[in-house]
Amino acid sequence: MYDLAIVGGGPAGATLARLLGRRRRILLLDRRDLLRPAGSTPARKCCGGLLAPDAQKTLGMMGLALPKDVLVGPQLFVVRTIDLQSGQERYYQRFYLNMDREKFDRWLVSLIPDTVDVCCPAVVKDVRREGSFYRLQFIRAGERCTANARCIVGADGALSLVGRKLFAGGTEQKFYAAMQEWFPAQAAPPYFSVFFDPRITDFYGWTIPKGETLILGAALAPGRSAAVAFGELKQRLAAYGYRLNECLKREGAFIARPRCVPRFPAAGGGAALIGEAAGWISPSSAEGFSFAFRSALACAKSMEDGLDGFAERYRRETAGLRRQILLKNIKLPFMYHPVLRRLVMGLGVAAVNIKKN
């Protein structure tokens, strides 16, 4: 019987396990093999791998500094913003840390105390409440296994199994198919680019240079039309100097976009969701690292005085995150309504001038 089972070993789950690992008996499960060195086993996640200022600040507050081998060049200081429908283009100053997402996740897991049982790769198949505890069924090395825990936290992403099994009527969210393709680019542009075009998606697309490669990605409506829309995006980018011919690899994942402030429906008081599983992700940019860290911190704090009733304390601890989600939803029309976006870009508010050689 564990005190706590955490499903998902990404930034949210790994951070919670690290914070509580020496005070509670914890089981952490993830479908990826995150214990071996990077490159030895596939453990990739479809992600741009940019650490925004809010996430950098939270890492600093936790007393953490990124190791050198997690970073990947170039480091980025401006965002190239293109409205493909109107043809408007602007540059905005932003400060991101460009990193290797796989190495980042492995590094976070390496910080977890050895008192935590890290079980990966393990595919969780079922979660249910049985009396005063939770029973998990998962497959590891081809064998079906069972574990019990007094409490459970779902940190298992947009399509959270824990959320679907234990929470009735969770946060209202819209789901997207995030698609990425990698291309060779020995002279990749020194900026992060974002693209808006309501003919392709009501969210956005992006390019991110990674060493000698360039990632092209987009958040698209799920279904067969996603591949078609992705192809249209590639065609339209050719006019802006993007050469996207030889695809090196493809990846994809579902991402959530909260339409309202995350809610916490009843689940017996011994279960909670953190990170994207709870809807903690920016509805304007899909930035999730800062929300993952902060929700894990809030959850850990809610357990300082014991496990009984921690879910209600967690709800109170995340009041600031709920306000931030609300403010970002208010910001949405200025980014995604075509007329308002053209007005803002036309005025050049906060834009910077780029001198090209």
Q: Are 257 and 281 in contact (CB under 8 A)?
A: yes
> Where residue 6 sits, what CATH number does that domain have?
3.50.50.60
pLDDT in tens, 288-304: 999 999 999 999 999 99
pLDDT of residue 37: 72
Asked if residue 356 belongs to a domain, the reply is: no
Whether residue 353 lies inside any domain: the answer is no
Question: How many structural domains compose the chain?
Answer: 1
- Tell me the C-alpha to C-alpha distance, in Å, between residue 287 and each of 198, 207, 223, 280, 356: 20, 15, 23, 9, 29
Q: What is the pLDDT of residues 153-195, one digit of tens each?
A: 999 999 999 999 998 765 578 999 999 999 998 776 788 999 9
> What pLDDT, on a 0 to 100 scale, did the predictor assign at position 353?
86
From CA 213, how far away is CA 312, in angstroms rounded?
A: 46
Residue 325 carries which DSSP code? H
SS3 327: helix
Asked if residue 355 is part of any domain, the answer here is: no
Average per-residue pLDDT for the chain: 92
Q: Provide the pLDDT for residue 254.
A: 94
| Lowest model confidence (mean pLDDT) among 19-28, 216-225, 262-271, 296-305 | 262-271
Q: Residue 38's pLDDT is what?
A: 63
Q: Establish if 42 belongs to a structural domain.
A: yes
Q: For 95-126, give one letter per residue: b (16+ CB within 10 A) or e.
A: ebbbbbbbbbbbbbbeebeeebbbbbbbebee
User: pLDDT per residue over 220-235, tens digit each?
Assistant: 999 989 999 999 999 9
Cα 232 from Cα 289, distance rounded (Å): 29
Instruction: Judge whether 30 and 275 are in contact, CB under 8 Å.
Output: no
- Identify the DSSP state of 64: -
Give strand pairing partners of 152: 5, 271
Q: What confidence tier does 31 reach under pLDDT thresholds 50, 70, 90?
A: very high
296 assigned to some structural domain: yes
125 in helix, strand or coil?
A: strand
| pLDDT given at position 216 | 97
Burial class (CB within 10 angstroms; exposed 0-12, middle 13-18, buried 19+) of 150: middle
Q: Which tokens is 149 given?
A: 């825990």
* Mean predicted confidence (pLDDT) in 303-315: 92
Q: What is the dihedral of CA 223, 226, 227, 231, to 10 degrees?
A: 160
Nearest Cα residue to 145 out of 157, 133, 135: 135
DSSP letter at 69 equals G
- Burial of 339-353, coded b for 16+ CB within 10 Å and e otherwise, reads eebbebbeeeeebee
Asked whether residue 357 is domain-assigned, the answer is no
In a domain, 19, yes or no: yes
Strand 201-210 with 143-154, pairing: unpaired
Which residue range is the domain that position 106 belongs to? 2-347
- The pLDDT value recorded for residue 167 is 86
Confirm whether 273 is domain-assigned.
yes
- Nearest-angstrom CA–CA distance, 298 and 107: 21
Quick one: average pLDDT of 123-143?
95
